[in-house]
A and B are shown apart, each in its own frame.
Chain A
Amino acid sequence: MSPLLEARGVSKRFAGIAALLDVWVSVDPGELVALIGPNGAGKTTLFNCLSGVLDPEEGVIRFRSEEIHGLRPQERARMGMARTFQRIELFGAMSVRDHLLVADRARHGGGGFWRDLLGRSRPSAAELDRCEETLELVGLVDVADEPASALSLGRGRIVELARALMCRPDLLFLDEPSSGLDVNETAEMGTVLQTVQRERGTAILLCEHDVPFVQRLAGRTYVLDAGRLIAEGPTDEVLADERVRIAYLGRTA
C-alpha cells in the first residue's frame, strides 16, 4: 500500500540556519503517527511545509502519490488535508456552529456570490445535519451557539479540531493539541482523537510534547532534534532509545 503522505529529504533554511535538514516522513491511510522533539527542533516548520504555509528548499512532498510542491494552503486543504494550530486560530466572535458551517461551505463551496444576492445562502438542513454530527462526535453540542472566543482554551482546541474535521480530511495535522490543557482536558482530547481515527478512518499526524499522551495514542513516532530526524519506529521502542533520551533530557541524565 502506498503511503497517504510522503516527505522525502525535506530541508528548509531561515537566513542560512537549517530549520529542517533532510527529513523523511510518511503516513499511511488511517494511521495515527506522532512527531516529537524538544523546543526548536523544527516540528512546526515541518508542519508548515507539509500544509503549504512554507515551501521547502529541497525535498519532495507527495500526497496520495501526487507531488504538492507550490500548492497553497487552501488548495491542499481542498485535497483533503486539514490542520489545527499551536497558537489557537479561531474566527473571533463567530459561534461554534458557524465555525463548522463555514468549513463545510468551504468544502462544498463555489458559485457563492449570485446565490448570496438571491438570498439563498442560509444553512441547509443537510449542512446543519453534518455540523450536528461533528458536534456530537467531539462533544461540543452544549456550546454550539456560544461565541468561540468565550470558550476555554481546551474547548477552543476542540473547536479547531471540529472545524478541521468538517473538511472531511483524509489526513489531519494537529500541532500540539494538548498544550495549555489540564489533565482532564488532555484526556478528553485523547478520547476524541481515538474516536475520530476509529469512526472516520482519518490519518493523524500529531506534533506533541506530552510523552504519555503520545504513548497512549500513537502507533508510530518520529523524533526531530535540531532539524534532523534522530529516531523513528514504534512509539515504545523510540521512547526507550538512548539518543531520544539524550535529546530530551540532556547528556547527563
Chain B
Amino acid sequence: MGDLLEYAVRGIPVGCVFALMAVGLTLNYTTSGVFNLAFAAQAYASAATFYLTRKEAEWPLVPAAVLAILVVGPLIGVLLDRGLYRHQRTASPTAKLVTSLGLLVALPEIVKLIVGGDSKKNPPPLWPVRRTDDLYVFEGTPFVLDAGQLATIVATVAVVIGLSVLLRRTALGLQMRAAVESPRLLQLQGVDAERVSLVSWMLSSALAGLAGVLVAPLFAALTSLDFFTLLVASVCAAVIANLSSIPLAFAGGIGLGVLQAVLAGWLPTGSVISTGLRPSLPFVLLFGLLLFRRSVRTSREITDPLGGVSPPPPVQAALLRPRWLTNGTRAFAVAVSALGFALVFWVLDDFWVSVLTGGVVLSVILLSVVMSTGVGGVVSLCQASFAAIGAFTTAQLVDRFDLAVMPAMFVGAALAAAVGAVLSVPVVRLAGIYPALATLAFALAFQAVVVPLEAVSGGARTIAVPRPLIGPFDLSGDRAFIVLAAVVLALCSLAVIAIRQGTTGRFLDAIRGSATAAASIGIDPQRPRATAFVTGAAIAGLGGGLLASFYEQAVYDQGFNFFFGLVWLVLVITAGSRSVQAAITSGISFFLLPQLLTKLFEWPGNFLDSRENVPDWWRSVLEAVDPTWAQGVAFVLFGVGALTYAKHPEGIIEAQTTAAIRRIVAAVEGRRSKVGRARDAAESLPNEATT
C-alpha cells in the first residue's frame, strides 16, 4: 500500500503536464469552438525554443523560459486566431478540426526547418539543476522529486492560482466563464467576443507551451512525435471533463498521470501488459471513454459564439455534369492514363518510375480515405493502421507459410476489414469530432501495443515481402509492378464509385443531410456508415499489402506510421474527400513532391559547383539551401493546404472541377443560345413591322 502511494505521488508531476494542456484544450474549445489538436505542435514549438535558447545558446533560465512560454506560445495563438480561425467562424466543427490537423502536420515541420533537423538530446528542465542526481527529499513524506518534477509542480500550482484569480476576480474572467455557459447570450450582452476569443487563444497556447517545456525532459530527445502522447493524454482528460469543465479537466489530467504511475508499479514488470498497456494507457482510456460514456455520444457540438447558420454543402461536380460532358471526362481520364503509361515505358528513367509506382500504390490506400471519410462521413485517422495490418499480414503469411503474395494481400485486406468491423461498432455511433479522436486513439494504441510484437512486425528483424509472380509474369521490376498497381487502383476506384452512387451512397447522403429524417424513413443511421468504414479498412489493408510488396519489406516507420495516416487524411480532404481523382492526385503528390523539391534544392549546389565566379552574397544564399529540406517542406505544404478546407469543404480538385464544368457548360450553351437568339431575332422582325 505504501509502495502504491509512492508510485501515485510519482505520477503527479506527469499528471500536472497532462492537466495543463487539458485545461488549455477545454478553455479554448468552450470559448472559441475550436478543438485545437495543434496544441501538441505548439507545445513542441515552445519546447524547441526553450531547447535552442537554453541549451544551444546558453541563455539564463528566466529569459529563455519567458521567450518560450510567454512569447512564442501566445504569439502562435494570436497568429492562429487572427490569421486563421477568426475567418472560420461559420465553418463546421469538422472543418475546424481539419484545419487543426493541417496545423498539426505543418507546424512541427516548420519548427524543424527553423531549429535544424539534428537530434536534440537531453532537453533541459525548467528548473536550475546543480547536479544531475540532485534530488529534493521531503522528510517524513513519500515525496522525492528531481528538478524537473519540482518545476512542474511549482509551475502548475502557480498557473492554477493565476487562472482561478483571472476567472474569478476579473471582468474578463467573468466574460470567459459566461462564454462557457452561453456564448450567444454573452454576445447579446454586447461583450466583444473577439477579444474573449483572442485572450483564450493566448492563454491556452501559453498553457500548451508550458506543458511542452515541462514534458520535454521526460524524453531522451526532443522529437515532435513524442508530443502526440501528451496530446492524447490531455484529450483524454478533456473528454473526462466532457470538453466543458475546466476543474474536471484538471483533475482528469492529474488522475491520468497517477493512474499511469500506479500501473507502472503494480503490473508485473517484463510482461506484455506492462510493456504494452502502460504507455498506451491514455489511448486505451480515451477509447474506452468514447465507447462507454453516453454523454459523449449525445452531447451537442459547441459552435462558435459568432458562428452563423452553416452554409449548405456544395453540389458535387459530377451532379452538375451533363451526359455529353461525362463521356468527355471519361475520354480525358483514359487519355491521361495512356499518357502516364507512355511516360513510364518510354520516357522516364528508373528513379522516376519508382517514385510514380509508389504514388500509384499509395493512391489505393488513399482511396480508403475517400471511402471512410468522404463517402462514409467518418473522419478516420487510423487508415495507416489498417494499411499496416494488411502489410504485416501479407509479410507474415509469405514469411511463415510460404503463401504467394497476391493471395496473402487479400487475406490482409480481409483481416483489416475484420478489425475495421469491430472498430466500427463504437466509432460510427460517435458524432462530430469524436470519431477522429477515437480513431487517433486506436492508431496510437495499435502503434504502442501491437506493432512491437514479434508475431506482427517481426520485432527487431525486418520481414521481406517479395514482388508478386502471377503466372508467367514476374512483377519484380517497377515497370511491371506499376501495371499491377494501376489495375488494383482502377478496380478499387470503380468499387468506390459504385458504392458512392449506389444505395449505400444514397443512404449516406441522406444521413449527412439529416440523420433524424433518414431514421424517420427507416434508414438505420449507423449501418451505411459502418459499411463504408469497413470497406475503407479493406481497401487500406489491400493497399498496405501492395505497399509492402512495393518496398519489398514490411517496416512500420517506412510507410505505416500513424503520422503518415494523419498527413494522408489532410491531403485527401484538401484535394477533395469524395473524389477518386483527388485520392490519386494526393497519392502521386505524396511521393512526387518531396522528390521534385529535392531536385529543386539540389540545384543551387550544382549551380555553384559548375560556376567559378559567383558573387559572395549570392554564394552564401545558395549555400544555405539544403536538399534535406525537401521532405519537411513537402509536409508543410501538405499541412498548409488543409487551411483551404474551410473555404472549399468539397476540396480543391472538386472545386476546380465544378468551376471547369460550369465554364464549359456556360460556353457551350452560350454558343447554342447565340444561334438561338439570332434565329429568334430573325423571326421577330416581321412581327415588329406589323405592330
A residues within 8 Å of B by Cβ? 51, 53, 72-75, 77-78, 82-83, 85, 89-94, 98, 101-103, 105-107, 109, 112-113, 115-119, 121, 147, 149, 160, 163-164, 166-167
Report if A113-B520 is in contact (Cβ < 8 Å); known contacts: A93-B312, A149-B312: no
Query: When the two chains form their complex, are residues A147 and B519 in contact, meaning their CB atoms are under 8 A apart?
Result: no
Chain B positions within 8 Å of A, measured between CB atoms, are 312-315, 319, 495, 498-499, 501-507, 509-510, 512-514, 516-525, 531, 535
Q: Smallest CB–CB gap between A119 and chain B, Å?
A: 5
* Cβ-defined contact, B520 with A102, below 8 A: no
Given contacts A101-B506, A121-B501, A121-B503, contact A90 B517 (CB under 8 A): yes
A74 lies within 8 A of B522 (CB): yes
Measured in the bound complex, the distance between the Cα atoms of B523 and A119 in whole Å is 21
* Chain A residue contacts of B520, Cβ below 8 A: 51, 73-74, 77, 82-83, 85, 89, 164
Q: How far is the CA of A201 from the CA of B510 in the complex (A)?
A: 28
Give the distance in Å from the alpha carbon of A151 to the alpha carbon of B585 in the complex. 36
Contact indicator B517/A106 (Cβ below 8 Å): no
Looking at the assembled complex, report how far the CB atom of A76 sits from the nearest CB atom of chain B, in whole angstroms.
9
- State A194–B600 Cα separation when bound (angstroms): 73
Q: Which of A85, A93, A107 contacts B516 (CB 8 A)?
A: A85
Contact B513 A91 (CB under 8 A): yes
Asked if A112 meets B510 with Cβ closer than 8 Å, knowing A83-B520, A164-B521, the reply is no
Question: A105-B506, A121-B502, A149-B312 given as contacts; is B519 within 8 A of A72 (CB)?
Answer: yes
Contact status A116-B525, CB under 8 Å: no
Apart from A102-B507, A121-B502, A121-B503, 15 more pairs, CB < 8 Å: A74-B519, A74-B525, A75-B522, A77-B519, A91-B517, A94-B513, A105-B503, A105-B507, A107-B521, A115-B503, A116-B498, A117-B498, A119-B498, A160-B517, A163-B521
Q: B522 — nearest CB in chain A belongs to which residue?
A: A77
Contacts of A115 in B (CB 8 A): 502-503
> Looking at B313, B504, B519, which has the most chain A CB atoms within 10 Å of its CB?
B519
Q: Are A112 and B521 closer than 8 Å at their CB atoms?
A: no
Known: A105-B506, A105-B507, A117-B498. A89 touches B522 (CB 8 A): no
- With most chain B CB atoms within 10 A of its CB, the pick from A53, A72, A101, A121 is A121
Would you call A147 and B315 a contact (CB within 8 A)? yes
Let me know if A92 and B513 touch, CB within 8 A: yes
Q: How far is the CA of A98 from the CA of B314 in the complex (A)?
A: 17
- Given A92-B313, A105-B507, A113–B522 Cβ distance below 8 Å? no
CA distance A83 to B519 in the complex (A): 10
Chain A, residue nearest B505 (CB): A116
CB distance from B146 to the nearest CB of A (A): 49
- Residue contact B507 to A92, C-beta cutoff 8 Å: no
Chain B residues within 8 Å of A77, by CB: 519-522
Chain A residues lying within 8 Å of B531, measured Cβ to Cβ, are 112-113
Report yes or no: B509 in contact with A106, Cβ–Cβ below 8 A.
no
Q: How far is the CA of A127 from the CA of B314 in the complex (A)?
A: 27
- Find out whether the CB atom of A91 lies under 8 angstroms from the CB atom of B516: no
> A90 to B503, Cβ gap below 8 A?
no
Complex: chain B residue closest to A51, CB-CB: B520
Contact check: which of B509, B519, B523 meets A94 at CB < 8 Å? Answer: B509
13 contacts between A and B (CB under 8 A): A75-B522, A78-B522, A83-B520, A85-B516, A89-B514, A91-B514, A92-B514, A93-B314, A102-B510, A107-B521, A116-B503, A119-B498, A121-B498
Once the chains bind, are A92 and B512 in contact (CB under 8 Å)? yes
Shortest C-beta distance, A163 to chain B (Å), equals: 6
Kindly name the residue among A53, A78, A102 whose own CB sees the greatest number of chain B CB atoms within 10 A: A102
Please measure, in the bound complex, the distance between the C-alpha atom of A107 and the C-alpha atom of B522, giving whole angstroms.
7
Q: How far is the CA of A51 from the CA of B519 in the complex (A)?
A: 10
Q: List A contacts of B509 (CB < 8 A).
A: 91-92, 94, 102
**Is B503 touching A93 in the complex (CB atoms < 8 A)?**
no
Q: CA–CA, A117 to B498, complex, Å?
A: 5
Chain B residues with CB under 8 A of A103: 521-522
Verify B521–A102 contact, CB threshold 8 A. Answer: yes
- For residue B313, which residues in chain A have a CB less than 8 angstroms away from its CB? 92-93
Find chain B residues with CB under 8 A from A147 CB. Answer: 315
- Cα(A42)–Cα(B531), bound, Å: 37
A residues less than 8 Å from B521 (CB atoms): 77, 82, 102-103, 106-107, 163-164, 166-167
A166 to B523 alpha-carbon distance, docked (Å)? 13
**Contact of B501 with A106 in the complex, beta carbons under 8 Å:** no
A174 to chain B, nearest CB (A): 12
Q: Which residues of A contact B503 (CB under 8 A)?
A: 105, 109, 112, 115-116, 121
Write out the residue numbers on chain A whose beta carbons fall within 8 Å of the beta carbon of B525. 74
Q: A73-B519, A90-B513 given as contacts; is B504 within 8 A of A116 (CB)?
A: yes
Whose C-beta in chain A lies nearest to the C-beta of B495? A117
| In the bound complex, CA of A108 to CA of B523 (Å) | 11
State whether A106 touches B522 (Cβ < 8 A): yes
Closest CB of chain B to A157's CB: distance in Å?
13
* Whole-angstrom CA separation of A77 from B517 in the bound complex: 11
A175–B170 alpha-carbon span in the complex (Å): 47
CB of A140, distance to nearest CB on chain B (Å):
16
Q: How far apart sit A112 and B527, CA to CA, in the bound complex (Å)?
A: 11
- Which residues of B have CB within 8 Å of A75? 522
Chain A's closest residue to B512 (CB) is A92
A74 cross-chain contacts in B, Cβ below 8 A? 518-520, 522-525
A163 to B514 CA separation, bound complex (whole angstroms): 13
Of the listed residues B312, B518, B521, B524, the one surrounded by the most CB atoms of chain A closer than 10 A to its CB is B521
For B523, list chain A residues within 8 Å (CB).
Answer: 74, 102, 106, 109
Known contacts A94-B510, A106-B507; A112/B502 CB under 8 A = yes
A93, closest chain B residue (CB): B315
Q: B522 touches which one: A53, A85, A117, A167 (CB < 8 A)?
A: A167
**Once the chains are docked, how many angstroms separate the CA of A220 from the CA of B553?**
75
Which of the listed residues A51, A116, A118, A167 has the most CB atoms from chain B within 10 Å of its own CB? A116
Task: Report whether B519 and A90 are in contact in the complex, using a CB–CB cutoff of 8 Å.
Answer: no
Please give the distance in Å from A172's CB to the nearest CB on chain B.
11
Q: Which residues of A contact B314 (CB under 8 A)?
A: 93
When A77-B522, A113-B531 are in contact, do A92 and B312 touch as well, CB less than 8 Å?
A: yes
Contacts of B513 in A (CB 8 A): 89-92, 94
- C-alpha spacing A105/B502, complex, angstroms: 11
Min Cβ gap B138→A in Å is: 47
